[in-house]
Amino acid sequence: MPIHNTLVFDIETVADTAAYRLLHNLPAEQSDADTYRLMAGERLAESGSTFMRHHLHKIVAISVALKNTSGLKVWSLGEETSSEYEIVQRFFQGIEKFAPTLVSWNGSGFDLPVLHYRALFHGINAQRYFEKYDKQKRTEQKLSAQLQESRNELLHLQSILSALELSEGEVELQEIRQEMEDYGFLRKSPGKKKLRESEKAKPLRFLSSDGYELYVGRNNYQNEKLSFQLADGGDLWFHVKNSPGSHVIARTGGKPLEELPDRLFLEAASLAAFYSSRRKEQKVEVDYTFRKELKRVPGAAPGFVIYHSNYSLSVMPERRLEELSS
C-alpha cells in the first residue's frame, strides 16, 4: 500500500499589535506593550479571556512533521530572523509541492483559520490549498447531511418499532404499515386503498382522578394530529424523555399550572411512560410543557417535535386509569 504524504503542523502566534493600532487609529509610534494592554483589556471585558480573535494573531513559528515514502522529517519553517511572510509562504509552498493530508491539534478551530487570514493579509498564493480545502469542506458538508438523514431515519424507525410494540389491533397495524409505505420503508401494496378517516383508530382516552381528559396517541400520525390539531395551546403535553413514545395531552381548560392538581401531572406522566419504549423500566423521566411550546422538526417524520421550555418528573410506567370509549 503506498504511503501518502502526511503533514502534521502546529503554529505559534503572538498578538498582532500593529494590526490593532491600524484598526483602531492609534498612533503608529505607540509601543507594543501599551497596545497589548489595550488589546488584552478589551478582549478580557468582551470574553473573559485575553485570547485574541483569529485576525489579531501574528504567526512567529510553524513546526512541521512530514511523513512520506522517504521516511519522517521534523523541522521548523524559517529562521529566527524570518518574517511572518516568509514563514507562511514556506508553509503554502510545501502544500503546493507535497499536496499532503493535513493533521493538526485544533487545526480547523485555530491554526487553519489564522493561516487563512495571514495568507490573505500578505497576498500569498495558496490556490492549491484553498481548492483542496474547499473540496474537503464540500465533502464534509455532504457527509454531514447524509449522516443527519441517516440519524433521522433511525429515529423514525425506532418510533415505528415502539408503536408496533404498543399496538393493540388490526387497524393500528394498518396505520403503521401506511406510514412505512408513505416514507419508503415498505413497498406500497398495489391496488390497496388508504384507510378513510372514519376507519382510522382514535387516540386512547382516559379521565383523570380529578376529572381532566387525557388523550394518548397510538402512532406517529396520531401523535401529530393529537398535538397539532386536537390539542389547544394551553393544554399540557407529556412525553418520555429522549426516547420513542406516545404524545399524551391533558386537557386543562386553560387553567394555569398552579391551579391544576398534582395528581394530574403524575397520572399523565405515568401514561406517557407506559406508552413508550421504556415501559418496562422501574422509573422513567417524562418531560411536560404547554402544547403551545411545541414546534415541528423541519423535514422530519410526523410526530417529531422540539421544545425549549419544559418541566420533568420521574414516574413509574403504569396505566391505573380506566380507558374511556373514544
Residue 3, pLDDT above cutoff 60: no
Q: What is the pLDDT of residues 37-58, one digit of tens each?
A: 999 999 999 899 999 999 999 9
Is 153 domain-assigned?
Answer: no
Residue 164 lies in a domain: no
Q: What integer pLDDT is reported at residue 136 of this predicted model?
A: 65
Domain boundary among 89, 113, 137: 137
For 236-245, write each residue's pLDDT tens digit: 999 999 999 9
Confidence at 1, pLDDT banded by 50, 70, 90: very low
More confident: 187 or 302: 302
Tell me what pLDDT residue 130 has. Answer: 67
Q: What is the pLDDT of residue 178?
A: 86
132 and 212 in a single domain? The answer is no
- Residue 142 in any domain: the answer is no
Give domain status of residue 316, yes or no.
Answer: yes
Domain total in the chain: 2
Q: What percent of the chain shows pLDDT beyond 90? A: 55
Residues 217 and 316 occupy one common structural domain: yes
* Residue 12 located in a structural domain: yes
Q: Which residues contact 44 (CB under 8 A, 6 or more apart)?
A: 50
Q: Residue 21: inside a domain, yes or no?
A: yes
Cα within 13 Å of Cα(91), Cβ side: 29
Q: Which of 120, 137, 154 is the last residue of a domain?
A: 137
Burial class (CB in 10 A: 0-12, 13-18, 19+), 179: buried
- CA geometry: angle at 177 spanning 173 and 183, to 5°? 150
Domain coverage including residue 277: 202-324
pLDDT at site 134: 67
Q: Is 214 exposed, middle or buried (0-12, 13-18, 19+ CB in 10 A)?
A: buried
Does 2 score more than 60 pLDDT?
Answer: no
> Same domain, yes or no, for 234 and 132?
no
Q: Which amino acid is at 169?
A: G
Q: What is the pLDDT of residues 251-275, one digit of tens each?
A: 999 999 999 999 999 999 999 999 9
Question: Which triple of cell numbers denotes residue 215?
Answer: 388523550
* Whether residue 130 sits in one domain with residue 10: yes
Cβ atoms of 172 and 218 within 8 Å: the answer is yes
